[in-house]
Structures are given as structure tokens and as C-alpha cells.
Structure 1
């Protein structure tokens, strides 16, 4: 026979059992006080337990609680010798009173969770008002059922009922609210000791001298700060429960002598209850807010870590893609340039080779745009300010795009104007490379989107010293007003057909805007569809003196050919580099990886090492560090990184490994020869470089 599955414990059953036991304890306590004080109404908390249970439990559990407590009521009342008719009448009327009070509280939709002082006051006010009204009715009906007047003894028993509900109902609601456990962790031993201290103080004060009752505030507030609202509710209720028997014992159970001290003790405990709960609820709220702040800080840190990880993953992805694209592109563009120098190349093959080179340059520009945009988003876009002539810079940019304009049959013009205190001959502190990048982007866009007509570039210097305004106007297709606001957003063009018809990734203007903003300037556009566009850049720069001219770099044609070690794991890259360097008059040796490079550097006498970074086995960074550890002149040979890794942090890693310079792939012949020339400069003429760079 299969074993029946174990039934899981229902927390509602536990609440029902606890409430039943608490009701039995409160009923026994109330009957004990009533008998000991010769029926002096002191405090009646049993009805508050029933009301709290009906608010906390569901309907089925509430009916079960009513039934169980009714049986307990009858049994306990009969056990103290009350007449059966009285017992049954009181039990029935108490059940009706508590059920009606709980139903009215639910009907009024009052919050049953006591989590703030206003909520506590509202609940106490409404609950005590309903209890007072229903108690008057219950006492009147009970009196009339035994032949007495309706108003006999109504005030005393109503007061004890109201007092019990005012203290016991919020206490039970707080004890059953799990939220009040958060932030307050008190051990069992500490709880017992503090409770014993409060009870001992209460009994001592109200037995000896009630003038010392203010001493109760000290242990009560200690309990508040250690245990929160739950501790405050339990300890103040316990203090009142211990105080009433102490006063009855002190007065010798004399009803007349005990009446006034009992009322004073009850009023004092109401005040103590209000003060302690107000402090406890405020402290509980502060604790919850602190916990919420901690959780939100943890969430924010997790989100920040996730964002940083995503940003790092994006940077790694861009670096990897850049490297994988630049490596074959280096061979494509390099060999295309070498073949184009062949005088015997037919015109048709030269045209086809030119198409290959233009396509390769276009792809290289897209890769560069992606890397530039990655720098912009990462906040690593730094400016290098040098003395620059804005007029010469504009003319140089126009000269660069002039062949493209001539090929399309467009009129390209450049104008420089001065207004106010503007001076065309003045040199300004500008980042020449980045500003040229912006101007070339505007000029190439104008040429790209202009089929016929003209492109005009104009520079206005002034009215103040260092004030600049660059304008690039064209007679091209123009831009609709509704899409002009998207032009400076990433991966954005006027419409989806632009990239198919004209190419580009839609990053140029976004990068230009970031660069201009980094320079402290502004960039904007004015355009009409079909009537051309006008882009302008405004910025201000500091007027500076001209830089001291540096010594001309040494020519590669020295007294003897420079001995160069070329290290690259890619055969095509080695062949291309060998050809370029040989044409420049160098003696070239090659190595396939870092191990071979280290062995060659240890045995050979090289003037320069060109080192790839990504290689199997020992990579370029490890090889550079190992070479720097060689003794004598062999450890100080200049090393230039030839790598598709072109992000700033990647270049920094190269320099930290001991490399002197960096040339990014795809390699342009002019850039390579310039770097080689710098590396081979005599020490007395070479400019100092920080960190060996």
C-alpha cells in the first residue's frame, strides 16, 4: 500500500492555534481580575483577540475561531461559578459584538497593518468607538435580560472593553505583521531579560510609590530601540498586565481603594503605549528605508557592474572585429599600392586596381568610425592641442578632397574671411587632427550627396580673437526638416536608402558632433530638400605663439642601410612589409613569432624592430618585454608595434611593454616610413619621448 503524501503545514492553521491560546489566556486573566477585585471592571482583552483574529484570518478560519473561543468562553465562565443562563447570554452577545466590530472595520476598509503612527491612531479611534457603541448595546441587552434597566453598570464594563481593544488589538496586529521583524534581531535571552526588567520595574513602582512610574520609560524605550514595534507592544502590554494585580494586592482587594489607582495606572500605560509605539514605528520606518536603500544600492551596483561588463564586452568585440578586418585589409591596400607603382600596368588594370584601393579605404574608414565612436561612448576621446593656423587647415582639407570633386565635375572653393578682431595669420590652440577629421567629414559628405553644382567651404575668423566659424555649403539633394534632428545621432542617415546608394555607417556626423562638443563648440545644419545643405561649426580657441620648428628627421638613406627585423605571423604581412622597407633602402630580416624575434634580437645587431602584437606562442608584448631585458645595446633597440589594435588602451599596453611607437594596420606607406624615420633619428636630434615612447 502506497504511503500517503505528507501534507504541508499551513501557516493559517498556526495563526488560528496561537489566537485560540491567546484568547484562552486573556479570558482566564480577565476572569481572575474580575473575581479577585470583586467584579471591579479593570481591563477586558479577550474581545480584542477575537476582533484581531477576524481581521487577520480568512472567513473559514474566522468562523472556526469564533466557534473555538465560544466553547472556551462557556467552559471558563462556568468554571468560576457563573450561572449557565448568564454564561450563555454573555457568550452569545460577545460573539455578536466582536463579529459586528470586525465586519464594520472591514467594511470601512481600514488598513489592518499598523506601520505608521497616523494609521495606528485611526485604527485605535475607529476600533474603540465601535467597541464603545457595541459594548453599550451588549451591556444594556444583558441587563434587560435579567430584568434590570438598560443603563445599569454600562460605563464600567464599556470602559474596560474599550481599554482592552485600544491596547490589545494593535498589539496583536503588530505581532502578526512579519514586516516588523525586519531590521530587529534580538536573541531569546535578551528578550527574556528586558521583559523581566520591565515587569519587575512595573511591580516595584506600583507597589511602592506610583510617583516613580516615570522610571518605566527607561526599560520600555530600551526595548523599543532593540526590538522595534513588536517589543514595544509586548512589553507595555505585559507591564499593564503585571501592574493591575500589583495594585489590587497593595489595596487589599478593596474596590473603593483600588478604583482610582487602577484608572491612573491604565491612563499612564496608555500614554506609555502611545509614546513607545510612536518611537518604535518611526524607528521601524527608518530601518525599512535604510534596508530599502541598501537593496537599491546593491541593485544599482549590480546594474553598474552589468553595464561595465557590457561596455567591456562591446569594447572587446570592437577590438576583435577591428583586428580581424584590419589584418587582411592591410595586405589588400598594401599590395594594391605596390602594384599601382608598376609603370607597365595597363590603363584598364590600373582602373580596376584603383577601384580595389578605394573600396579598401572605404572599409578602413568605416572601421575607424566605429573605433572613434567607441572612444566617444567610453569617454576616452582626448584632445591634443598644438599651434594651428585655421586658414591653412581649411585649405589643406579642401586640397585633400579636391581630386574627388574634380572627378565628379563639381566646383570646389575655399574662402577665408576676417571680421572684428579676427586675424588670419594668428595661430590657435587646436587639435589639428580632430578638427581636420570634422572638416573632412563635412566636405566628403557634401561631395557625396552633390551630383552637380558646387561645394563651398568658408572660414570666418572673429569677431573676437580666437572665434571661428567653419561653413560647408553644397547644392546637393538636401535634407528634409523632419529628419534633420536625427542627423547627429549614431547610425542615422536621412532615410534607409542612403547607405545603399551612397555608403557609410551613419557615424560620421555623430562623431563630428562629439568632437566639436569636446572642443567646446557647436555644430548644426540648415537644409531644404532638393536645394542643398549648409553645415557650420562654431568654436573658440586660445591664441598662441608659433611652435619652435623641430629638426628635420634623418633620412633613411644613412651611411649604411638600416637593419630592420620584421616580426609578423602572417606571411602576406611579412611579404608586404619586406617590400615596403626594401624599397625604402632597409636591410630586412623576418621572424614568424615572438620566440624567433627574441632569438634574432639576442644574436643580431638590428637598428629597429617592427613587431606584430597578436602572434601564437609568445606574442608581441611578451617579446618586447623580453627584448628589453637583454643586456647592452640589444636591449635598447627601438621597437615599433605594427598592429590592428588601435584603441587607446591597446596602444598604452604596447608602450607599457617597452615599445617606442605604434603604427595601426592597414599600414599606409607614408605613416610607416615616417615612424621608421623617427625611430632611426640620431639621439642628439630626436625629441625626447616620455616613457620611452
Structure 2
């Protein structure tokens, strides 16, 4: 690939050298033979501009080759038109020096060829070339005055207009025609380009012809039309055509439209001013249109890039969703066993008080873990600030005690002392989301244990009574490593750590405190840290919460007809079947089980079930296929309500369950209150339907 690009660039440079060499020879002949005034000075001299453009754009020895062509043909043509050898050599030296000087200045200012792509660059280039032309004019006029006795003022004026006009017009026009950016802009059909250039030539010939009465200003509209359709390149080509046609006709004295009646000097001045005004008017319009076209293409490109980035983002989101769906299933399945058996143990009456306390701690810790899993799996909701709170009458003191009890074993395992202090003169229930607040406190306590190697951890709750709401302040104080002041603000940012080395030592992705801040913000509170490096940290949470009325704990929901309700549980995991069967048997249900969707369909065909609890991922036939097959059964057997009981808990997964014909969804790990409530709901729903 690099070799092919290099070969392509060499071909481009060779073609550019050939084009500039031919243009230089033609321009020398054109200027000397067709635009010379009676004073012997050409009215238009673009050869110097072509040489300067070649030196700026050609690489290697190609610039030297163009210089040789310029010098040789300049000398030959000068001798052919009647200049003496000494005069011809003088002109060659002056013109070559002028082109080299412009090349040197452009190299210093632009480090190469200036790009004529804006009105500013169009104005800046003549500001550089005009002083060079003035210096060359003064030099050649002074030599001609001293050596040949020619008038100095007229010589300076003629040579300045000759060189200045050529550089001011031909150099930007050549750079525009060479620039690949302008070639890419305004790509029109070749027939349209040819038609526009023909129109420019025809109108110019009409205005310049001696027999025509058309005024020269009619050239402006057609030149502007070329600039409008073809951009800056169209303006440059149109001006070249105008100069090629008007100069020979006008300088011959045949056209009265360019002040021929006032003499050759006035006619030369008129032609020069006309070409300069036409060139800069049309080229300015072309550059403005080209810049507008460039902006359109840039916007289009950015739109395409934005679409591509959006496609990649959607693909990444899809991959993230698939990953979260898999992780949801894999995490919830074992968690179902932990919470399920903990709930079953909690129902036993023969447990010693200490064992019952430990079982309750397992259940509380599992509930906290489930809350964390739900937050991580739905992290986009956290980022969007769409966390929903479920406030209920809660004892902040008891919540603090339970949280400390959950973390106490980890603290003891590290040899740390974990002390609890509660200052609660109110001793009342407050309207709080216990699960969310527990998640925040567990995270803070977990960090305190993680980053404390020796010493103690103090958990403190301070309740200050208010008029409308009480002020609750939770503090977690440790004697750990502490945090530098300039790094404390990083703690609550997503995926950040105060110290990367500490992150490697203690682990963690830096997400926990960010979620804590999001949760506390939703609660309307504040979270912060006070820390001294080497002495420890104090993380605190401040909340305002109204006092809530005490309510009696609702009795465990029971099914309407214990013993009469027949429930079919379908799951390929034996532990899940055992948990579900045990929980429903406790409330008097008659439970049967099936290990896959195929068995579920066979059992549904042979027995009448009041409710069917269906897993999703199973061998032979999954839950969605089994649901469709059962719903297709004739009679009442096809009308049994089917409730999804699965670790697939993402919204789109739940929607698939409803689309297959299921009536409800229970997410694993199973919470017995949720299980009982939903079974009772659909039993009562079926009973009401039968009575109707």
C-alpha cells in the first residue's frame, strides 16, 4: 500500500510538472507577443506566478527542472521579440529572483504552498507578493534608467503593474487549480463545465469585439455564474479565459470598450484594473461558496461518523445487555438457594435464639446482596437518575444494628473492633427506604473493613429531632489508611479510586461509592468524607426523614383454599424445585413438580392445575415453548394461569414472558411474601372468573 501511494504521488508530481512547464511557456509567449504595450512592457505577466507556484508545490528536483524551462524559454522568447541579449538576461534574472523570493517568504510563513480556501488567505497572499513586485519594479526601473535612459516613474509604474497584476491574479488562481480540495468541491458534469466556460468566452468575446456595443460589465454575471456552479476553480478558469480574450483584442487597439480612445497607456491601465476587479470579485464568491460546500461536506461526514458511532454504541449496549442478562441469571440462581433455604429455616419453631438470629442475618445479608445485584444489573437506571424509592416505616436504629451485625464477622476476621453507638432521643419510626439505606451503610462499612488493617471501626447514628422532619446522621469511622485531601473528591465518581495502588491491593472497581452518592441524592440527603492520611476516615450520610406511624406487620399471605389449590412447579434445578415446593407446602398447597418444559406439557394435559410456576431456561423444551403449548390445550387445562419464576429479570426478558402467554413474573431469588402474594392473586382471579 505505501509503495502504491508513493507511485501515485510520483505520477501526480510528473503530471503537475508537465502542466506547469507547458503553462509557463505558453504564458511567456502570450505575454510577450500579445500583451505588450507600445512601451515594450507586457500588460499581464503570469509566468513569475507559475514558477513560484511550481517551486512551492513540486518536490525533489522537479522545481529545478521547471526553473530551467522558465529561464531558457524566457531568454529565447525575449530575444525573439527584439530584446537585446543584455536586456533579456536582465529580465530573466529579475523575474527568476522575484519567483524565488516569493517561494522563500511562503516557506517561512506557511511552510509550503499557501492554501487559498478563505477570503483571509485570498487577501493575505497579495499582501505578501505586492511588496516583492514593488521591489523588483524599483530595481529594474532603476537599472533601465541608469543604463538606457528610460523614464524612471513610468518604468516603475509599468513594471509594477506588469509584475503585481501577474502575481496577484495568476498565483492564487494557479494554487486554486492545483489544490485537491477545490477539485473535490463542486464536482459537476463535464458538459456543464464546458458549457459554462463557453458562455464565459462567448460573453467576453461579445463585450471585447470592436463591432459589439455590449458593455464589459456583462462579463461579471457570467463569471459569477461559473463561480456559483464550479466554486473557486470555476472563478479562476473564468478569469483566465477573460484575460486571454480581452488582452490581445484590447491591446491591439481594436476594442473601443477599454479606453482605446485615451491612448495605449490608459487602455493598458483599464485592462489591468478590470481583470483584477473581476478576478477578486468572482474568486471571493467562489471561495465563499467553496467554504460553504466544505462545511456541508464536513457536516455530512460528521453525521456519517455520528451514525457509525451510534451503531457502535448500540452494538456495545446490546453486548452489555446480553452480558447483564447472563450475569443476572448466573448470580440469581445460587442466590435463590441461599435466600430460599434461609427463609425455610426461619419458619422452623425448634431453632435456638442464637441460631435464629444467625439465620435472620443470612436473610438480611442476602436481601442486601440482592439489592446490590439489582442495582448493578440496572446501572443505566442509576446513571439516568431513575432510581425509585419505596419508603416505609423503618427504625433507623434497628437498621443500623442489623447492618453492623452483618459486617461484624468480617471485622472480627481481621482482628478489628466494631462498635456501635446510637444517639436517638426520638426513638420513633421514620419514613425510609430500608433496602436502599442498608445498601449504602453496608458499602461504607465494607470499605472501612477493607481499608483498615488494625484498630477499630465505629458506627454511629445520631437522630436530631426537628419540627417537621428529623435529621438522621450515620457515621462510619475507621482507623485505616486515610485519604489525601486532593483525592477525596474522586471517591464518589464512577469507576475511580483515590489510589490505584490501593485499588490493586484491596480490589474493587470504584463503583460502590458512586452508587451510594446516587442513592443518597435520590433520598434528598448528603454524603461525604472527612479524612486524615495515616489516621483514618469518617464517612457520613445525612438524611431528613419524617416520623412515620407504626403499622402492624401484615400476616403472611395465604392462598384462598389451602389444600385445594394444585400448583405445578417447573424447573430444571432440583434445589429450586425443593425450595418452591417447601414454601408452598407450608401454606397448604398441593404441589407437583416437572423438570423441563416437555414434562410440564404432559402433566398439564393430564391434570387440572390452579397455577403453574414456570422457569425459562430448561432442556428439551424451554419455558416459553412450554407456555405456548399449554395455552394451546383445549378446555380449562389451557386456561391455567402460568407465572414465570425465573432468574431472567431484565425488562425485555420479562416482556418475552408476557408475549408467550404468561400472566405474571416472579424474579429469582424467590421472596416468599412475593411468591405467596402472586399465587394468591391468580388463585382469586381464577376463582372470580369461574364464578362469573
TM-score range, shorter chain: 0.7 to 0.9
The alignment partner of 1:65 has SS state of helix
Question: Structure 2 vs 1, CA of residues 452 and 199 (structure 1 numbering), >3 Å: closer, same or farther?
Answer: closer
2:415 is aligned to none
Aligned pairs (5 A) from 1:601-616: 601-616=604-619
Q: Is the 8 A contact 2:133 2:164 kept in 1?
A: yes
Q: Distance in 1 between matches of 2:377 and 2:366?
A: 17
Q: Specify which of 674, 677, 680 is matched with residue 677 of structure 1.
A: 680
- Note if 1:192 corresponds to 2:198: no
1:3 is aligned to none
Aligned pairs (5 A) from 1:88-127: 89=89, 92-93=92-93, 96-106=96-106, 108-110=108-110, 112-127=114-129
The alignment partner of 1:641 has SS state of strand
Question: Structure 2 vs 1, CA of residues 492 and 205 (structure 1 numbering), >3 Å: closer, same or farther?
Answer: closer
- Note if 1:522 corresponds to 2:531: no
Aligned pairs (5 A) from 1:68-87: 68-77=69-78, 82=82, 85=85
The alignment partner of 1:595 has SS state of helix
Q: Distance in 1 between matches of 2:147 and 2:529?
A: 95
- CA drift of 1:446 comes to 8.2
| 1:602-638 C-alpha deviation (Å, 9 max, x unpaired) | 4431111111122235432343345445555444433
Q: Distance in 2 between matches of 1:151 and 1:493?
A: 78
- Long gaps (5+) in structure 2: 1-5, 413-417
The alignment partner of 2:215 has SS state of helix
1:571 is aligned to 574
Q: Distance in 2 between matches of 1:244 and 1:494?
A: 77
1:580 is aligned to 583
1:63 is aligned to 64
Question: Structure 2 vs 1, CA of residues 244 and 663 (structure 1 numbering), >3 Å: closer, same or farther?
Answer: same
The alignment partner of 1:22 has SS state of helix
The alignment partner of 1:659 has SS state of coil
Q: Distance in 2 between matches of 1:212 and 1:479?
A: 90
1:662 is aligned to 665
Aligned pairs (5 A) from 1:236-251: 236-247=239-250, 248-250=253-255
Q: Distance in 1 between matches of 2:273 and 2:678?
A: 93
Q: Distance in 2 between matches of 1:115 and 1:139?
A: 35
1:293 is aligned to 299
1:275 is aligned to 281
- CA drift of 1:165 comes to 1.9
Q: Distance in 1 between matches of 2:18 and 2:92?
A: 22
Q: Is the 8 A contact 2:483 2:537 kept in 1?
A: no
Q: Specify which of 402, 415, 421 is matched with residue 424 of structure 2.
A: 415
- Residue range with higher mean Cα deviation, 269-278 or 84-93: 84-93
- Residue range with higher mean Cα deviation, 279-288 or 255-264: 255-264
- Note if 1:179 corresponds to 2:185: no
- Residue range with higher mean Cα deviation, 559-568 or 358-367: 358-367
Question: Structure 2 vs 1, CA of residues 309 and 683 (structure 1 numbering), >3 Å: closer, same or farther?
Answer: same
- CA drift of 1:38 comes to 8.5
Q: Is the 8 A contact 1:468 1:539 kept in 2?
A: yes
Q: Distance in 2 between matches of 1:494 and 1:157?
A: 73
Q: Is the 8 A contact 1:478 1:527 kept in 2?
A: no
| 1:460-516 C-alpha deviation (Å, 9 max, x unpaired) | 4644x4x45322245654673536545534577888999999998865543232122
Instruction: With the length of structure 2 as denominator, give the TM-score of the two structures.
Output: 0.80
1:421 is aligned to none
Q: Specify which of 155, 158, 162 is matched with residue 156 of structure 1.
A: 158
Q: Distance in 2 between matches of 1:89 and 1:630?
A: 108
| 1:90-148 C-alpha deviation (Å, 9 max, x unpaired) | 56435543444335434653562222223222321321321232244335546766687
2:649 is aligned to 646
The aligned length equals 664
Instruction: With the length of structure 1 as denominator, give the TM-score of the two structures.
Output: 0.79
Q: Distance in 2 between matches of 1:33 and 1:485?
A: 78
1:538 is aligned to 543
- CA drift of 1:438 comes to 4.3
Q: Distance in 2 between matches of 1:457 and 1:79?
A: 107
| 1:3-36 C-alpha deviation (Å, 9 max, x unpaired) | xxx9765322111100011112212211331479
- Long gaps (5+) in structure 1: 1-5, 419-423, 687-693
Q: Distance in 1 between matches of 2:524 and 2:364?
A: 30
The alignment partner of 1:680 has SS state of helix
The alignment partner of 1:589 has SS state of strand
1:46 is aligned to 47
Q: Is the 8 A contact 1:370 1:507 kept in 2?
A: no
Aligned-residue CA RMSD in angstroms? 4.7
Question: Structure 2 vs 1, CA of residues 323 and 346 (structure 1 numbering), >3 Å: closer, same or farther?
Answer: same
Question: Structure 2 vs 1, CA of residues 440 and 404 (structure 1 numbering), >3 Å: closer, same or farther?
Answer: closer
Q: Distance in 2 between matches of 1:47 and 1:454?
A: 87
